[in-house]
Structure formats: structure tokens, C-alpha cells
Amino acid sequence: MRTSRATATDAERVIDGLTFSLRSTLRALGDTLPEGLLSISVRADDLDLAPHLPATARAHYWSRQSSGHSYTGLGVAASIRCSGADRLEVLADEFSALGTRWQHYGPAGRPDPVAFIGFAFSPNETPGAMWHDMANTELVVPELLFRESGDQRWLIFSADVGGRTNPVDLELHWASLLETLCTAPVERHEERMPPLTMRRIEDRGWQAPIAQALMDIRSGSLEKVVLTRRVKYSTSRRLRWGKVLQALAAGHEDCARFAVTRPGFALLGVSPERLLSLDNGMVIADALAGTAPRGERSGEDRELVQQLLADPKALEEHTIVVNQIREALAPSCSGLVVPPAPGIMSLPKVHHLWSPLRGGLRNGSGLLDLAGRLHPTPAVGGSPRDAALNWLNDNEKGGRGWYTGAYGWLDASGNGELSVVLRCSIVNDTSAELFAGAGIVADSVADQELAETEWKLRTMRGALELG
């Protein structure tokens, strides 16, 4: 990964060079642009932006440090919105149709354009006002994408071109987006920013839901159900979204950092749980269930790991998730490899039991097809799936929006990755709502489950305090 950065003093030179490359490709297409979705790729090796999210733009961000992949998108060149039980099937069909009129130009070896994808936990929920205009399920092809993969950096400009699209106007619009991406700082004069203070103003208790869940599980009508806790804070000033994402980087190299922003609003988070990735026919899905806090000293930390590996309640919860993922993937994967025992994913605030399942894709399935079979896993819903979802529909009030749904990317060749929306916060100008959950099984103890949510909330709360 490169370490050089485009500074304020050379930003104009970088923008001029990139604009020249864009103009050259546009002019080679002639005065009449091909109709349909048009993408133009430009090498951008001197550009280092991540994470850079202009506060006034509609933007998307997704990054996994360990893989070297990072995507920052501005604007909307094309979008697909849907909801309902068949939402991912509809999304797959419409994305396929979009691909038939999608043309891509640029140097040899250019990477595919990328669309950002996100969806709510429930297929039928309309996210409320607190989620601004986010749809239940949405795919967005950004007008400007900064794609970083290893040592290669690319800008991909996209537009839905009609018969009257003027190439000069299009170039000017793309150049304006590029300038916004390159030169609009997350926060000017940040050294003058006062320290941030946060005050808890609302904590949606779950003592009644957990008591009901334990009663129903012990009666035999459920095996597991996952409850959500929501905690709202007021903040003493506006949060800097890029700073929050930077604060989430350390210790989360194997996690996905993500953001979906609107002017004055952002969904920010870091997810340890990969719902699904597809890379040239190789499928990976994470089973992540069973949690313990980090110890303050190395000896204590090792002891907590050993306790987690031997905890019957955590192992039961984890096995339920592994079994359902195996059943969901088996029809579409050959050579499916399931770890014989869970390993440990150690994050800055918590340890998790972790089992990555791998296999080769078959039967012509795609990323969205597999996601429809996997979601929701027992790690975010419960088991048996239908019984748990019915229970949540009757007992969980207020809806989850995109929390415990999924977010990620899909490229024009069908490769992509979706992460479960966890360790996240909805951020407005001077407020932040944090989410955490815990899986309830027969042996669960209410106070211990509440403590588990506190361990999980520390991740986002600490990052927000640095924003």
C-alpha cells in the first residue's frame, strides 16, 4: 500500500492531470456519446483520500485494510431501490439489466466499475425519518468512484447518458465532483475544534424483551433470538465523519469500515462479520457468535480467550450460526470447508468466536442470490429462522433500519463483498444513536447480556469521541 499523500499544495496539479486524462478519453468518444450507463476509468496513483467524505455530498465508503481494497463514491449515476421478500432477487435482475447497457472505457488493465449495495434487516421495513431517505434496499453506481486495490488507484467517472447529453457539460460536472473529492476537507482548521463531549439522552431498555425471550426459549418455541439495544447521545459539536472512520482503523484491519452519508447525516461503522464475499468463484462467509471482553493485561486477556473457547453458552450460540450458514451455502458451493472448531477474532474491545466457511461457487448463483439465502443468519436474527423473525416482529419495537442488514459492493463482473451492519451509529449534526445486540439462548443471564452490549458499544463510542 502506498503511503504518499496528495497535499493541499499539489492538489491542483493532481486534479489538472486527472482532468486531462478524463478529457482525452471523452474526446476520443466523439461529439455524440453512446447512450446508456457510461463509465470512464483514469489512473490516479498520486491520489490518497481514504477516508475522505465531504460533509455536503451524498457519499459511500467501504474499506477492508487487510485486503487492500477501499472504495469512496460521490453522487448517483444510477440507482435501484426495492423492498419485499424478493428484494434481492429483484435487485439481481435489475442490476443484470443495467449491465446490458453499461459501457466502460479507459486504459488496458482498468478495474471494473463498482456499485454500492445496502439493505435493511427486515425486507418489509421502510426505514424511518432517522434514516433520512435511505431505502429498504438500494444499489448505487456513484458518479465518481475512487477505487484503491493494493498499489493501484483509479478514478471511475460514471453517468447515465441520453441522446442530448453534452460531453462538455458532462466533463465540467465530473471535474466539479473531482475537485470536491480532492480538496474539500472533512473539517477546516480542525486544530481549533473544541474537544467533543457526549451525553447519553436515551437508552431503550430491554429488560422486558429479554424476560419474554427467555420464557419463550425455555418453553421450546425458540432456540435463539437476537435482541437490539439502542442508545442515543447528544454531542457538543458536529462530528467529523472521516475522523471517526480513521479512529476505527486501528485494531480492525480484518474488519470492514463503512459509511453512507447525506448532507447532515451519516451511517458510520466497522463490521467484524462478513456476510459473504465472492471473488472469482470463491465464496467466504463468516460465522461470528460468542463474545467476551478484552482484558486489561495480557495474562487476563489470554484467560478470557480460554474461557470463551470453553463457554457452553457461547459455543451453543456459535454452533447454531455455523450450521445455518452451512445449510444455506451447501446447495450452491462445492468443496465447502467448515472449520471443525471456532477460532478467535480479537478486536480492540472484544473477542469473538469465529468460523470462516469457504467453498467454490456452482449452479450459476451470484452474490445477491447467496445473500438472500444467508440473511438473516442466526447471529443477527435467531433460530429457527422463521420462529425468531416472527418473535421479533411481535416483540421488537421501532424497527432496526439497516442495523444488522448488510452493506458492501458489487462490481460489473459479479465479484463483491457484503458485511453485516454492526458496530455502527447513525450520526446527525449534534446527535448520535448507537446500536448493539446480543444473542439470547436458554442459558442466557439478563445482566450478562446487558454487559455484552456495553462491550460492543465501546467501539463506536470511543471512535465518536475522537471525531
Q: Which residues are catalytically annotated?
A: 224, 273
Alpha-carbon gap, residue 361 to 276, rounded angstroms: 12
Q: Yes or no: say if 128 and 401 are a contact pair by the CB < 8 Å rule.
A: yes
What is the gyration radius of the CA atoms in the chain, in angstroms? 22
Amino acid at 58: R
* CA-angle at 124, arms to 123 and 130, nearest 5°: 100
User: Which run of H or of E encompasses 335?
Assistant: strand 333-337
Enter the DSSP assignment of 106.
Answer: S
CA–CA distances in Å: residue 366 to residues 119, 322, 330, 417: 17, 21, 14, 11
The per-residue DSSP string of 30-59 comes to -SSPPSEEEEEEEE-TT---SS---TTS-E
Q: How is residue 52 written as a grid cell?
A: 475522505
Q: Yes or no: say if 418 and 371 are a contact pair by the CB < 8 Å rule.
A: yes
End-to-end CA distance of the chain: give it in Å, rounded: 25
Question: Cα-flanking dihedrals φ and ψ of residue 311, to 5°?
Answer: -75, 115
Q: How is residue 235 written as a grid cell?
A: 454531542
* CA-angle at 425, arms to 394 and 188, nearest 5°: 160
Q: How many CB atoms are located within 10 Å of the residue 209 CB? A: 20
Enter the DSSP assignment of 295.
Answer: P
Enter the DSSP assignment of 364.
Answer: T
Alpha-carbon gap, residue 382 to 210, rounded angstroms: 13
Amino acid at 106: G
Q: Yes or no: say if 410 and 115 are a contact pair by the CB < 8 Å rule.
A: yes
CA–CA distances in Å: residue 373 to residues 116, 121, 331, 341: 20, 14, 10, 23
Q: Yes or no: say if 357 and 329 are a contact pair by the CB < 8 Å rule.
A: yes
